[in-house]
Amino acid sequence: MNDLHWWSATDLAAAIRGHEVTARDALEHLVARVEQLDGPINAVVQWDLERARTAADAADAALAAGEALGPLHGVPMTIKDSFQTEGCITTSGAPELADHVPDHDAWPVARLRNAGAIPFAKTNLPIFAGDIQSYNEVYGTTNNPHDVTRTAGGSSGGSAAALAMGFTPLEVGSDIGGSIRVPAHYSGVMGHKPSYGIVPAHGQIPGMPGTLSQADLAVCGPMARTVADLELGLDVLAGPDRWNEPAWRLELPAADADDVSELRIAAWLDDEDCPVDASTRRVLGELVARIEAAGGRVDTSARPGFTLAKADRVFKHLLFAALAGGVPRATIEELAAASDDSPLGVMAGGTAARHRDWLADNERRLQIRERWREFFLDVDVILLPVQPRGAIPHDHSEPQWDRRVEIDGVERPYLDLFGWTGPAGAGMLPATVVPAGLGDDGLPIGVQIVGPYLHDRTTLRAADLISHLGGGCPRPALAV
């Protein structure tokens, strides 16, 4: 029990089923750990303890009675605060929702509960999940467990920090511009961005409570410290949405490789359109060398039939259009007039795009998807950086898109941090992030493992084989 906080969700569920530990004891252990260690991190921002304790006691009683159990029976976990949680304040970091108590669970939360999981707290994020740094006026700032002067990432920053600190064995994140992948990379944990459309996210904020549409590009998926937990999380979360449930079924293709030598791996690790820093280049280069030493084959010259610059441009147009749903019409008109080639102008142009502009970008997206399909005829997965650098220092200046970041001593636009999330995002592809090593500053560096559309099990299998070569999830010094 002393290190229960480091157990995987898979192992914890097995221990509960095997009567090695009770669900109630597991819950109280994690609660005590959060209370002891979360002060300087601020990952956990809202408790739901009364109902969690009742659920844990019921889970233990069901086990004693020999009732049928779900795959996560009795496993306590935290939930990102963008997912509505019945009976528990859910704010998405927005002051206007500071007292919002949903009367139903978001679909991912409902599926986790149906599998036996016990949500006991909510984790922090940026307002309306709209940044790669997690801070808001309701709950304040979440700090990186490896260096509290830096961000844990966003928008699933509280989720990643909670995993890194051993506060939870499993989380559910959302990703439209990298919100699963970036926090996993910054905080040294694992995350899976599913293929678009296979995990319904009804009930996530944004949109506002009651919204029935699901945003273009946006997905939700599991975050964890082991690939086995990512696989289990995806099995629980994936399925039809509310509209297709009567007839739609999902059967993801199986992964064939049992050894890294059986994978056809490509690696696109740097690019003049979004150069990575020396630490990232070293860590990812060393990972490729370890893959090859283990018998793997890595083609560092293979590329899909488009440039990184094109994928980035199309992705950002679609991203800002997808984020424009709640923007007032008067603001849209102002943004249309402000459109230019600056980072703020790119944001303005995408946000103010007319439908005919979106249709043109959607066709460009489909062309990128076709180039990806052709590429993956000869390749199983491709390795990409998650970002051009490790975790950035806190910067809450406004407007967000005028911020600057330092990459190898050079000031670059904040938007450059999105350069490597675009290819998988525009392609609607699965992408699994696992730690690859530590940068020169001792901070985690992740690798993005991207595969063909709907071949989520392939990227997860590759991640399982590769993650051992990267050393697994580093434990922060604060996580005693």
Catalytic one among 8, 156, 179, 195?
179
| Angle ∠(370,376,379) on CA atoms, nearest 5 | 160
What tokens were used for 199?
Answer: 């995990």
Structure tokens at 37: 């260690």
Q: What are phi and psi of 364, to 5 degrees?
A: -65, -40
Task: Give the separation between CA 345 and CA 53, rounded to whole angstroms.
Answer: 50
Both structure tokens of 267: 């690696």
The answer to whether 8 is a known catalytic residue is: no
At residue 90, φ and ψ (nearest 5 deg) are -130, 115
| Cβ atoms of residues 46 and 89 within 8 Å | yes
Q: Which amino acid is at 82?
A: S
Fill in the amino acid letter for 169. P
With CA atoms as reference, report the closest residue to 386 among 337, 440, 435, 452: 435
Give the residues across from 46 on adjacent strands: 122
Task: Answer yes or no: are the C-beta atoms of 79 and 52 closer than 8 Å.
Answer: no
Rounded to 5°, angle at Cα 391 from 385 and 395: 125
- DSSP at 474: P
In the residue annotation, 134 being an active-site residue is answered as no
Helices and strands of the chain, counted as H and E runs: 14, 17
Q: List phi, psi (to 5°) of 166.
A: 75, 30
Q: Which structure tokens are listed for 216?
A: 């273009």
Identity of the residue numbered 397: S
Residue 348 tokens, joined: 């303005």
Q: If phi over 0 gives left and psi between -120 and 50 gives alpha, with beta otherwise, what is residue 189?
A: beta
Q: Answer yes or no: 155 catalytic.
A: yes
Three-state secondary structure call for residue 211: coil
Other residues' Cβ atoms within 10 Å of the Cβ of residue 365: 22
Write down the catalytic residue from 82, 92, 155, 156.
155
Q: What is the CA radius of gyration of the chain?
A: 21
C-alpha–C-alpha distance, residues 4 and 27, integer Å: 10
User: Looking at the annotation, which residues are catalytic?
Assistant: 80, 155, 179
